[in-house]
Amino acid sequence: MKKTYQGNGFAIIEKEAQYQITWPQGPYDKPVFYSISKENANKALESPQDAYEVMIYVETGQWPNKDELT
C-alpha cells in the first residue's frame, strides 16, 4: 500500500517500507524523486528546516553546514 505524507513544498512517499522524497524543481517545476531512509523521512516531517536539510543531503550527499543555515 502506498502512503503519501505532505510537507511544505515536498512530499514523502512510502511504499512497501521504501521511502522517497519529492519536490518540484527547475524552471518548469518538474518533480524530482530521491530514495531516503525511514529516519530521514521522519526527520523531513519534523520541521521545514529539517526537510530542507534532508533535501540538501539527498542532492549533494553531504549534510549542510549548520553555521551556513543560520
Q: Mind listing the pLDDT tens digit for each residue in 6-53?
A: 999 999 999 999 999 999 999 999 999 999 999 999 999 999 999 999
Residue pair 13/3 in contact (Cβ under 8 Å)? The answer is yes
Distance in angstroms (rounded) separating the CA atoms of residues 20 and 18: 7
Residue ranges per structural domain of the chain: 2-62
DSSP-based three-state secondary structure for 57: helix
Q: Grid coordinates in use for 29? A: 517545476
DSSP annotation of 17 reads T
pTM over 0.75: yes
pLDDT number for residue 67: 72
